[in-house]
Chains A and B, each alone.
Chain A
């Protein structure tokens, strides 16, 4: 748990968000994150993020599935318990294809989804700070980590990018185990202060 201070800018259209991201980045600020209600194409490029390697993980899981299926069936039919099915060979490769294919897909899909959840740190019971209640609805939220010295200037530059709302929030920057219907201690303290 690490509670930090953030400058938050809320935009109501991705057409405003893109130039804002560009401006803030070229001014030398490091963007903590941008939250959008749907996948905005090109935003990852605008933020300078590199392409996801998830598909490579998927390929490795798939190959694992292929090898598991072929290896397991081959071992059973040739070594562990060889049986004679109507004089057919002990390693009938064409007849192994259906199960091999299915296990390839199964391993790749299950592995990729688990990797996706791990990388994004999402799971039932995980809670993250929601900077704006409508960031999953129609608002686009840019968040920059600030300290007491640069807070005012960061807010000023965010204001100049056409944000409909700018504010400072003290928030947990990481994920934690929690329920969305219960307010966290730091949120209550912030409200009192």
Chain B
């Protein structure tokens, strides 16, 4: 048996004196007790918000998209702003589970399950916006390439809007499969612990009859690795394609080659912020501070300050290129962004996305839970402003008679609130009935990164290399 050694300089990823069984107990406990009052209230609130959103959609479908305040220049308004915002949020989960898996970042195991769930729910929310934006939503299936009697007439495969259909649906499917394949063994754990008949049956179905055979685990490892390899370029492609919706149009302010990397960085930025918002609350309410440690929060804050700075560089580059291009239309579009009627959105974006995350250069603030929570909300407000600024930059086109100042109608606001309802309804159900932390994966890293196991390694830390090699070679 090899010695499971990892330098004690690395912070432990699981605090406290944990055993395999204790991990199971800790993570299954919130699922096995009755829902708390706080959970019931939160769930009902989310459900009613969802109902309100559903009502606004019924209203919109009945009367048509005319009930939204879209006009000649602003054709996308809040709707597509929210779409891009939610898709962006949906990037952190797969990034954490896929890219960090390939980079062998052990800390991902504490947060990947909840982050992937967040991804799936965020993509579900995102999908609502373009679908209902179609107006005649009963014709939504026209985007699919199916044999039809109109020629057959096919969708335009070289339109970025159709690429979006493929990108988002693929992303949703692959994220769901990745998430669920990780859940199968954990559902088996819940099934074998279940006390009531109903739970045994339900988790029995959910676990697909998983028993934990060695060969199955070997295939499971291979599946996770290849899915991670596939998801890594996928995650980068999705927001790239979303940015093509803008970048391939020949419109001042949108037609820029910087969009793909800038959108991806922004997506990771907002996604990590949303993970922070959710996990800081989840770890507190479910008592999982020993699994989602300050070290995890700090690691995510480092990603936030990095991607926030990338986004900041992108904003400044955009301004410089607009000036340097010498194109007066481009220059005017950016002058209007900064100083025009929507100046408040631009400066809100700058303050929230570029200036305030710089505070995370201080280690004290990176490890401060409530400051992080506050900042995570600020970042998501900033990222909403970013998409709003980009979409609003069309408010003045080449024809001054169509210039306008767009504000949303109540249905647009209600639709946005409804998407929060959908998101939190799903998240509440997830936090109650699903293992919020990947149980099997935490057990896998326990002996290298558990606090108690790391302490046992201290004796080797100062040992002479020769002596260490001599002693350990006998174990092989």
| Binding between chains A and B | yes
Contact, CB under 8 Å: A80 / B154 = yes
17 more A-B contacts (CB under 8 A) besides A98-B244, A106-B170, A181-B204?
A33-B213, A33-B215, A34-B213, A35-B213, A37-B185, A37-B212, A38-B217, A39-B444, A43-B217, A44-B215, A54-B222, A76-B154, A85-B158, A95-B158, A98-B237, A112-B227, A180-B203
In the complex the two chains form, what is the Cα distance from A15 to B429 in whole Å? 38
Which of B1, B225, B226 is the most central at the interface, judged by chain A CB atoms within 10 Å of its CB? B226
B290 on the interface (CB 8 Å rule)?
A: no
List B204-232 residues whose CB lies under 8 Å from chain A.
204-206, 208-223, 225-227, 230-231
A28 on the interface (CB 8 Å rule)?
A: no
Contact, CB under 8 Å: A138 / B24 = yes
* Contacts A81-B151, A109-B227, A180-B201 given; does A96 touch B158 at CB 8 Å: yes
Contact, CB under 8 Å: A124 / B205 = yes
Residues on A with beta carbons closer than 8 Å to the beta carbon of B214: 33-36, 40, 43-44, 47, 49
Sampled A-B contacts (21; CB under 8 Å): A35-B214, A38-B185, A38-B217, A39-B444, A44-B217, A51-B218, A52-B219, A76-B154, A81-B153, A81-B154, A85-B158, A99-B157, A103-B166, A108-B226, A112-B223, A113-B177, A117-B208, A122-B184, A134-B21, A180-B191, A180-B204
List B431-476 residues whose CB lies under 8 Å from chain A.
439-441, 443-444
Contact, CB under 8 Å: A124 / B206 = yes
Interface string of A14-39 (1 = CB under 8 A from B): 11001100000000000001111111
List B3-40 residues whose CB lies under 8 Å from chain A.
19-21, 24
Contact, CB under 8 Å: B154 / A54 = no
B268 on the interface (CB 8 Å rule)?
A: no
Chain B: CB-nearest residue to A126: B209
Contact, CB under 8 Å: B222 / A55 = yes
Chain B: CB-nearest residue to A98: B163
Interface string of A81-119 (1 = CB under 8 A from B): 100010010001001101101110110111011001101
Chain B: CB-nearest residue to A58: B226
User: Which 6 residue pairs spanning A and B have beta carbons closest together?
Assistant: A180-B204, A126-B209, A138-B20, A95-B158, A122-B208, A181-B200
Chain B: CB-nearest residue to A72: B145
Contact, CB under 8 Å: B198 / A49 = no
Closest-CB distance, A58 to chain B (whole angstroms): 5
Chain B: CB-nearest residue to A14: B1
In the complex the two chains form, what is the Cα distance from A61 to B57 in whole Å? 39
Closest-CB distance, A176 to chain B (whole angstroms): 9
Contact, CB under 8 Å: B156 / A85 = yes
List A105-150 residues whose CB lies under 8 Å from chain B.
105-106, 108-110, 112-113, 116-117, 119-130, 133-138
* Contacts A77-B157, A137-B193 given; does A39 touch B217 at CB 8 Å: yes
Contact, CB under 8 Å: B441 / A38 = yes
Closest-CB distance, A29 to chain B (whole angstroms): 15
A186 on the interface (CB 8 Å rule)?
A: no
Residues on B with beta carbons closer than 8 Å to the beta carbon of A92: 158
In the complex the two chains form, what is the Cα distance from A112 to B224 in whole Å? 10
B234 on the interface (CB 8 Å rule)?
A: yes
A73 on the interface (CB 8 Å rule)?
A: yes
Question: With contacts defined as CB atoms under 8 Å apart, how many contacts are there between chain A and chain B in the complex?
Answer: 206
Residues on A with beta carbons closer than 8 Å to the beta carbon of B278: none
In the complex the two chains form, what is the Cα distance from A40 to B445 in whole Å? 10
Contact, CB under 8 Å: B233 / A101 = yes
Contact, CB under 8 Å: B209 / A38 = no
Q: Chain A contact residues (Cβ within 8 angstroms of B): what range?
A: 35 or more
In the complex the two chains form, what is the Cα distance from A134 to B191 in whole Å? 11
Residues on A with beta carbons closer than 8 Å to the beta carbon of B231: 105, 109
* Contacts A18-B1, A137-B24, A138-B24 given; does A52 touch B204 at CB 8 Å: no
Partner of A102, one of B2, B166, B204, B221: B166
Q: Chain B contact residues (Cβ within 8 angstroms of A): what range?
A: 35 or more
Closest-CB distance, B464 to chain A (whole angstroms): 25
Which of A51, A54, A127 is the most central at the interface, judged by chain B CB atoms within 10 Å of its CB? A54
Chain B: CB-nearest residue to A73: B157
* Contacts A39-B440, A101-B237, A120-B219 given; does A109 touch B174 at CB 8 Å: yes
Contact, CB under 8 Å: B170 / A133 = no
Residues on A with beta carbons closer than 8 Å to the beta carbon of B197: 181
Residues on B with beta carbons closer than 8 Å to the beta carbon of A108: 226, 230
Contact, CB under 8 Å: B177 / A37 = no
Residues on B with beta carbons closer than 8 Å to the beta carbon of A175: 209
In the complex the two chains form, what is the Cα distance from A2 to B212 in whole Å? 20
Contact, CB under 8 Å: A99 / B211 = no
In the complex the two chains form, what is the Cα distance from A193 to B426 in whole Å? 47
A4 on the interface (CB 8 Å rule)?
A: no
Partner of B216, one of A103, A113, A120: A120
Partner of A98, one of B19, B166, B226: B166
Partner of A36, one of B152, B158, B163, B212: B212
Residues on B with beta carbons closer than 8 Å to the beta carbon of A38: 185, 217, 439-441, 443-444
Interface string of A53-69 (1 = CB under 8 A from B): 01100100010000000
Which of A109, A123, A127 is the most central at the interface, judged by chain B CB atoms within 10 Å of its CB? A109
Residues on A with beta carbons closer than 8 Å to the beta carbon of B166: 98-99, 102-103
Contact, CB under 8 Å: B174 / A106 = yes
Chain B: CB-nearest residue to A55: B226
In the complex the two chains form, what is the Cα distance from A127 to B185 in whole Å? 14
In the complex the two chains form, what is the Cα distance from A54 to B91 in whole Å? 26
In the complex the two chains form, what is the Cα distance from A127 to B209 in whole Å? 5
Contact, CB under 8 Å: B220 / A181 = no
Contact, CB under 8 Å: B222 / A98 = no
Interface string of B157-189 (1 = CB under 8 A from A): 110101100110010011001100100110011
Which of B2, B151, B181, B214 is the most central at the interface, judged by chain A CB atoms within 10 Å of its CB? B214
Residues on B with beta carbons closer than 8 Å to the beta carbon of A112: 223, 226-227
In the complex the two chains form, what is the Cα distance from A52 to B205 in whole Å? 26
Residues on A with beta carbons closer than 8 Å to the beta carbon of B201: 179-181
Closest-CB distance, B210 to chain A (whole angstroms): 6
In the complex the two chains form, what is the Cα distance from A20 to B32 in whole Å? 35
Contact, CB under 8 Å: A36 / B200 = no
In the complex the two chains form, what is the Cα distance from A49 to B444 in whole Å? 20
